[in-house]
Every structure is written in C-alpha cells, then in structure tokens.
Structure 1
Amino acid sequence: MTVTINLIGGSECYNSLLTPLVFNIDDIKKLRELGICGILSGTLPTASQQNIFLTVPLKLMVEEAIWLHIKGLAKFKVLRCNLLDSINEILEKDGEQIEKTAKLRLKKSFDLQREYKKEQHLLKLERLGITDSERIEKNVNGNDKLLEAALFIETPTTSNLLNNIHLSSVGWGISDKLLKILISQYGNWDNYLLFQALRDKGYVLAPGGRFGGKFIAYPGDPLRYHSHMIIRDALHYREQPIDFLELAANARLGTGVKKIWVIGSSTETDKGPTNNDKAIVDDNISFYSIEWAGFG
C-alpha cells in the first residue's frame, strides 16, 4: 500500500512547492505505522482549536516526503494550477450547496451531542439516587446552558473542495526537477542524509525547533516515548570550524532537558541528489553526541 502526498504548487505549478500534506485518514494511519508522524494542522477559521484537537491535513517535513518516495512507500500528487483560482471557481459554482451541506452536518452533530449528554446526565442522576420526575426535569432543564457551552464543532476529516480540484499524479519516477524543488525548501542536502540515517536505524523524527535543533529523535512512537536526542543542522566538522561556546551552550541545553545533543554529517563532499531518479543513499554518515558533565 502506498500513501498519497499532496504537493501544492504556486501559480507556476512546479516553480514552487509548499509543504507536503496528507489528507487521507487511512494514509495517515499507514504513515504512523511506518514511523512517520508529521504534524496535524487542520482547523476551522472561525473555530480555532488547541493542538490536541487539530485534524487533517497532516503536515510532513520535506525530508519525510523524500524518504517515503525513495523507499517506494508514497506517491506524489501536485495541484497543477493556481489553488486560489480553483477554490474561487468551485465556490462560485457550488458555494451555496457546500454551505447548506456544512450547516446540516453541524446541526446533526449538535443534535447527537445534546442527546448523548442528556442521556449521560440522566444516568448520573440515577446513580445519585434521584428518581423524582419533577426534580429530574428541573435539573436537566437547568443545565441547558452548560450543555450548550459543552458542544464542540467537529472538524471534517475530508475536503469537499479538494475532491473537486484536479490533481495530477507525478507517479513513481519522481523527476529530478521536482526532487530538487523539494530539497530547496531547506537548502541543505546533508540534513536529509542525517534524517535518512536515523530513520533507517528505527528512530522517529520530528521538527526540533522548540529545542534549538533541526530534528528531535524518539526511539519509537512519540505517544509512548520521550525524545532522546536533539540533532542540529548538518555540520561539516572536517571543513567548518566548531564554535566551542555554542558547543557548551547546546550541551548544557541538552542536559537540562534530559536529551543528548547530537551533531552529524556526511563524510563525503556530495551536496545533492544524483542525476538519476533516486537520491543518494549515503552510508558515510557519522554522529557525535555531546553531554554536559558538569564540574566545579
């Protein structure tokens, strides 16, 4: 089974590609099994949610998208037209029907929630030994405002708009141009080589910005484990100088958050993919872990 990754192009289609997105729930489940967790980012403009309530699309790192394609686990689909124009065209044609469908779906969701919450409230009164019908009715009616405040808006997991927009499949043979565009999103091919080496060793990686690194690495599913390592951007330590103040600061940061600070790079000088359809599979990756031991 292969997953579908959507690459949204700019007005010139292939001249710019935005963050890889996955909209299909089954694909997201499959990615989780493969150790690719991504970040859920979907919400409603008028009903913003906390992170734990966000829904599709799943936003992938560019490295994750490239790794999946190289492993033959994903295929790309590209919106080959201006997305905003396509959406406006659909809204002009079917906007009223889409709005009507959304309102009916919301009303049905609220009705089901009200029914469920009233049933749960009656069961609670029953467990408390309250059996008088008048008292029960007064209690239930008195909680109507609380009940209404507890209703939540369910963000749909499918997009009616996306289904109506023409998607062009790039297929298995990812073009050299498309691969280079994806790589250009972060500009350092060695970062991908670090990602690939760690992912192939079984680590699950996520963006590491909140800890000052490029990635953070988990030994398994992030829902089961804390992250163990902070990986900084690839550093050619044979050619580039190492700032010892930065080294000490990062080591102390890693120790402070109970993680190992890791630097790594390829020992080769190749800076990008080959001219064929597949990217380099580079085994010449070395890593160094740094910890603050403390003294004095």
Structure 2
Amino acid sequence: MAEKLNNSTIAIIPPFKVYILNDKAFVWDPDGLIVGSLVGTLPRFPMQNLYFGLPLTLMPEEVTLLLSKGQIIISLKFDARKTHTVPTNGQLDQFNRLRFEDEQRQENEYLQVRNEKSAKYRKEHEIKKESHASSSSTENPDITNTEIEQKYPTTKFSPIAHLPTTSDSFAWYNDNNGFTTIEQAATAKLWRWPNTEKDQHRFKVFSDLWERGYFITNGIKFGGDFLLYSGDPLRYHSQIIATIVDINRPVSALDIITFGRMGTITKKSQLLCSWNEKQNKAVYISFKWTGLD
C-alpha cells in the first residue's frame, strides 16, 4: 500500500482494505490516507477518551465513493469460516521452520550482545588494573571467567514469549473474500448503501463536493451534515457547514434565520445543498449572517 520514495515522501498505492462489521466500515492500515474518524483505544492510555487510535471508521459516503473509484477493497472482517482454511502439512512444516529460524535469530542476537558486554567488562577491568599497577596482585586479582559468568550468565536463552498477532500472516489465511465494485458488494449483501432515494441524493452531493477538492468530515457537531475543509483537516479549520435539504421542500424564513445564526455562532458559512434530479447536478446556496459585531 505504501511505497517509500525518499526520506520525506511516501506514495500511497491503492486499493486499500476496508473491513465491514455491523454495517460500519473500518480501516486498520495507518497508510490509507483518507480522513475518516479514529475510534480505537490507545493501548497505553485506555482510560481516556480524548485521543483515539486504529481502527479508523469511514462515513457511508466515503466507502461508496472510494469503492466506485476502485480505491478500496471491502471485506467481512471476522468471518473465520471464509478466511481461515485447514492448513496443509507443508504449510505447517514451513510455519514451524520459520518459527524455529526466528527463535535462533533472536538467540544469536542475545549471545552477540552478551559477548560484546563481556568484552567491554574485560577491557574496563584491564584499565582499572593498569591504573592500580602499584598495588599488590592480591588486592587486584586477574579477572576470571567466573566473574563474567556471574555478571553475564551463560544459561540457555530463556523461552521466547509469543505474543498473539493477527492471523492474516498465516499461509492458510484466505484473503480472497474482498469485493472491489459496488455491484459485487451489493450482490454479496455486504454493502448496499445508498439504498434509498434520500441517501442517493446525499451521496451525489457528497461526491460533487469531493470532486471540487474539499476535504469532508461529519458535520453533526456543528448541526449540519458535512464540514468542508479547503485542505487537510489536521492543518486547516473547516470553513463551511453543509446541510442537505430536499429540493422540493420550501425553505422557510425561519430556516434561513436558524442556519444563518448557526453559521455566525460557529464562525462558518452555511451551505444548503440539494440534488436536482432533472438536471442531474447539485444546487448550492451559500449565506452567512451579517450586520453583527
């Protein structure tokens, strides 16, 4: 997914893997380069809710948009019947061989570090011995192997603790249950959003705003449908609150006042968005409350 170009540049290579669980989309790879919203608990700071980690959850609009453009592969995360097959004898032999080689590598690294420390200890002792050359030999006996053994025991390398990891690295892990198109995902009943006319209009407006170059996040905390950013949300403040309204429903004066005041309080412009089915295009009306200090 990620290809290193130089010390400061990383090229992100699609498609990305997105997992579906209870009709919600999650990204577990940190190199996905999509906005989303982190919802995972930080392992070292579990008793707080200010900062979050992986997985990253996506809005339905993001999933459908990326899927329609071939940028992601969606898969059912926890379907063990499809993802885990019975390993063959050859696969088990290879797994055991690789595990043994890894244990040997770790043991050799440990012994190498131990020998380096032993050599350093001998050298330090020789320096101390030379600096006290005038002292009697009984007060400064030569260093013995026993001393080194006591300081750096030569017992067999302690058993390696195997920490549980994801099982997708196993040779018998089947990762062919992903879908790359909306039609495939809908046929498999894995992803069928948008499935109503309202959701379809919502998705078309989202896609149009995305095509215009906006970064888009959920706008519920500001009373809208989306928040629009002119750049990366980590570097820019949102400038626009986008609210989707039915093009056939009249917008009352009270609605305009409500939207205008909401934009003023949050210091943002209010954008009313509708989808014109006859003209097959999005219609926008932008306004903000003025005349207030």
Q: TM-score, normalised by structure 2?
A: 0.57
Partner of 2:23: 18
Counterparts of 1:244 and 1:23 in 2: how far apart (Å)? 45
Query: Looking at CA atoms only, which structure, 1 or 2, has the larger radius of gyration?
Result: 2
| Equivalent position of 2:16 in the other structure | 4
C-alpha deviations, 1:203-256, integer Å up to 9, x for none? 000000100001000000011111010011x2233x212132122111111022
Note if contact 2:275-2:281 (Cα within 8 Å) is conserved in structure 1: yes
RMSD: 3.4
**Contact 1:260–1:290 (CA<8 Å) still a contact in 2?**
yes
Aligned mates of 1:295, 1:173 — CA distance in 2: 48
Give how far 1:8 is off.
2.7
Aligned to 2:36: 38
* Residue-by-residue CA offset, 1:127-176 (whole Å, 9 max, x unaligned): xxxxxxxxxxxxxxxxxxxxxxxxxxxxxxx9626768865212346434
Inter-partner Cα distance in structure 2 for 1:186 and 1:22: 27
1:202, CA displacement in angstroms? 0.6
Verify: 1:204 aligned to 2:215, yes or no: yes
| Cα deviation 1:245-278 (Å, max 9, x = unaligned) | 1221111110221111111111115xxxxxxxxx
Q: Which amino acid aligns with 1:160?
A: T
Q: Against the structure 1 CA distance between its residues 263 and 7, is the aligned structure 2 distance closer, same or farther, given a 3 Å change threshold?
A: same
Unaligned stretches of 5+ residues in structure 2: 1-12, 84-163
User: Which structure carries more relative contact order (alpha carbon 8 Å, separation 6+)?
Assistant: 1
Q: Distance in 1 between matches of 2:206 and 2:63?
A: 11
What's the counterpart of residue 290 of structure 1?
287
Candidates 252, 257, 261, aligned match of 2:270: 261
Q: TM-score, structure 1 length as denominator? A: 0.57
Deviation at 1:82, TM superposition (A): 8.0
Q: Secondary structure at the match of 1:188?
A: helix
Match of 1:193 in 2: 204
Unaligned runs of 5+ in 1: 10-16, 87-157, 270-281
The structure 1 residue matched to 2:69, chosen from 63, 68, 71, is: 71
| Deviation digits for residues 78-125 of structure 1 (CA, Å, limit 9, x no counterpart) | 247389xx9xxxxxxxxxxxxxxxxxxxxxxxxxxxxxxxxxxxxxxx
The 1:55/1:44 distance shift into structure 2, 3 A limit, reads closer
| Larger helix share, 1 or 2 | 1
SS in 2 for 1:20: strand
Partner Cα distance (1:204, 1:162) in 2? 32
Matched residues, number: 195
Aligned residues: percent identity?
27
